[in-house]
Amino acid sequence: MKKAICKLVSDSTYGQSKFHTTEKLPKELSAAYEDRTWREKSHYDENGIVFIPGTSFATSLREAAKYLSIQIPGNGKATFTKHFDAGIIVTQNISLGVHKDDLKKTTVFVPSDGRVGGSKRVIKHFPIVFSWSGEIEYAIMDDVITQDVFEQVLKTSGQLIGIGYWRPRNRGLYGRFSVKSIEWIEL
């Protein structure tokens, strides 16, 4: 097993769109509900401090491995994709140090059914953070994954896949990040 402790920094705005089940008030209109509950689309701890879920980074890394489809040397056409899919665990979140009540929002006109090209559109608000930085720890359980391959996939995940909503993987501009350093620890 290995650990990669990575210092990351945002290259673009980051937006969250967590599903929530806040109930509508009696006779509350959809627009009023959206205005009242948009902060609930953020991930926050018991003190209301917003964080980026570690699973966002794990998902981005898996998608980047699939996107790159790097072949394993000496193993025919086999790629690293399944090794990234099953062999990496992210063990923490990145705290953004901002309280959910202090978040900024963006307002967008989106398809009401959530499908690209939907004919009916509605106004939605989403929480955004303009810049962030932090440290994330990847536990690499699969020994097939090398330091060089991990670094290449992580950098690609930050630039071409991203995290959050409206990220590059979903034809957006938000959620890009750069890798400032990687500390590689053999256990």
pLDDT for 80-131, tens place per residue? 999 999 999 998 999 999 999 999 999 998 887 777 777 788 999 999 999 9
Cβ–Cβ < 8 Å for 3, 140: yes
Identify the DSSP state of 117. Answer: T
Query: Tokens representing 84?
Result: 């990234």
Q: What is the pLDDT of residues 66-75, one digit of tens each?
A: 999 999 999 9
What share of the chain has pLDDT > 90, as a percent? 90
Which residues, 6+ apart, have CB-to-CB distance to 164 below 8 Å?
Answer: 14, 15, 16, 17, 52, 56, 174, 175
Q: Are 41 and 166 in contact (CB under 8 A)?
A: no
Rounded to 5 degrees, φ, ψ at 43 are -95, 125
The amino acid occupying position 125 is H
Kindly report, residue by residue over 38-55, the tens digit of the pLDDT: 999 999 999 999 999 999
